[in-house]
Structure 1
Amino acid sequence: MEKLKNRLDAFSDAIIAIIITIMVLDIPPVLHDSWGNYWLLGKHIGIFLISFIFVANIWYQHSTAFGEITTMTYRVFIFDMIFLAFLSLIPIFTNMMAVNTTKTTVILYGCLQFVVNLLFRYLAKVIIHLQYTDKQAMQKVYTKIYGNANHILDILSIWDLIVAWFFPSIALAFYLAYPILTFLLNAQAHQEMYDVAELPEAQQQDVAAFNASELKDFRKAQQAILTQQAPDGKAGGAPQKAPSWTQWLDQSVDPRMRRRFLQHYGQVTPEQQAQLQQWVRQYKRGKRQARRPK
């Protein structure tokens, strides 16, 4: 099954590459110079980019999910085939929406995206349950695949189907933004998970148990420590600039490489790691004291 898993992963990559290629071939060339023809070309390219980014993000999530397993089952195989079958419909729905942009075609395209996301969510669930039994470990993988706000984005995707009925052009803008937001949240979740992995095992479990408000406080303290600035805004040591957006773009997408990246820019030191561990201990101690009866 291990060999079949690798073949299926390669087959899925090939199908996704063909899907993107077909969408490019569906863009009609300009045969006669006129502003109208070039405007139409720009419209087709814009709608192609919507589907390109969506499919590329699906590939990224698919690769992340399959990277968690070394073998597979018939259930994984069957549902991956079903998922790929519906994903393969993206080119025809994209072309249909580009040629005839109406509320009906936009809604149908949105429904197909929703179905593809739903099928992939179930496929990811099957993959994760194949590899893990611990709920915390499962949650970490879900966060790695979807980021930290996937439920909010799912609600927005349903809301967008309603908006498409009244304002198709606004819905198109969301279809473009949705996969971009998902990818960025996914990348941020990768980085945060690796930063937490720098803590001792006991403190990792504490952070994993944080609710949304507590996790927000942890991230603020984490950022303050990495930039050598206290949470109250006062200087906490020799100031160091956080990585710029160009440095962020140049870092590896593999979370195991994050430590090397941060060390290269002087962001992580043993003292900073100790400060982060101390913050977790103090936060935990403060929670215990707050629960004590007065």
Structure 2
Amino acid sequence: MRGKGEATLRANRMEAFSDGVLAIIITIMVLEFKVPEGDDWNSLIELGPKILSYIFSFVYIGIYWNNHHHLLHMVRTMNGRLMWLNLLLLFWLSLIPFTTAWMGDSHFAATPTALYGIILLLAASAYWLLQRGIFNQHSHDPHFVKLIGKDWKGKLSPLLYLTAVLTAYVSSWISGFFFVLVAVVWFVPDKRIEQALHNKEN
């Protein structure tokens, strides 16, 4: 029978692996930048769409890193299912550099922007599955179940991503607005998890 210490140790290993993958994802996005051919500000301005798409993605990766860190502190029993769900999340996140580059190179054309939204939607779905897998380990705690049941972020985000995908063919600016809106919603780590961790420590 595995003890809590062993579960924590394995969760720490999964977190360290995930941190490394997220760092590589950001590095890949940075390497997409090419030095401008000119030597004036206009040459830099021409990279505007790529810089903006990079900022979008950097913020998103940062949000996932922050919330993922909090989430793994809730693990009671590490198992193969959680590890595969975590890999599923990392798989979708690993595609962000590709869609980021395509969106920036195309100056936020409809299809690249829509694909960017689809990848974010799939990553959010994978995060939700990982979250449910971890939260189910606490299903015997009525207070925890009541607290975690208030998942308005998780319910709102897929709708916003889907709206961003659909509106990409109307205006990339409208689509971008919904991307920003989701980022704002998740910028502060999930208060439910922070409250649960606080109760757990006390």
Return closer, same or farther for 1:42/1:159 CA change in 2, 3 Å cut-off: same
1:73 matched to 2:75: no
Match of 2:187 among 183, 187, 197: 183
CA displacement 1:79-119 (0-9 Å, x = unmatched): 11121111111111101111113100000010000000001
**8 Å contact kept, 2:76–2:137:** no
Structure 1, unmatched stretches of 5+, are: 195-253, 257-294
Return closer, same or farther for 1:10/1:162 CA change in 2, 3 Å cut-off: same
CA displacement 1:24-65 (0-9 Å, x = unmatched): 121222231355422222322211110011111111221111
Return closer, same or farther for 1:8/1:153 CA change in 2, 3 Å cut-off: closer
Percent of aligned pairs with the same residue? 24
* Number of equivalences: 192
C-alpha distance in structure 2 between counterparts of 1:141 and 1:56, whole Å: 23
Query: TM-score normalized by structure 1?
Result: 0.59
1:127 matched to 2:117: no
Return closer, same or farther for 1:65/1:142 CA change in 2, 3 Å cut-off: farther
Q: Which runs of 4+ in 1 moved over 6 A?
A: none
| Correspondence 1:129-148 to 2 at 5 A | 129-134=136-141, 136-141=143-148, 148=152
CA RMSD between the two structures: 2.5
CA displacement 1:170-219 (0-9 Å, x = unmatched): 212332332122223735x678x49xxxxxxxxxxxxxxxxxxxxxxxxx
Task: Mark the structure with the bigger radius of gyration.
Answer: 1
Match of 2:102 among 91, 96, 104: 96
**8 Å contact kept, 1:104–1:165:** yes
Partner of 1:159: 163
Match of 1:49 among 35, 52, 55: 55
Query: TM-score normalized by structure 2?
Result: 0.83
Return closer, same or farther for 1:150/1:80 CA change in 2, 3 Å cut-off: closer
- Secondary structure, counterpart of 2:74 in structure 1: coil
Higher RCO, 1 vs 2 (CA within 8 Å, ≥6 residues apart) = 2
Match of 1:18 among 16, 24, 40: 24
C-alpha distance in structure 2 between counterparts of 1:77 and 1:165, whole Å: 36
Partner of 2:175: 171
| Correspondence 1:23-42 to 2 at 5 A | 23-34=29-40, 36-42=42-48
CA displacement 1:232-279 (0-9 Å, x = unmatched): xxxxxxxxxxxxxxxxxxxxxx868xxxxxxxxxxxxxxxxxxxxxxx
**8 Å contact kept, 2:70–2:189:** no
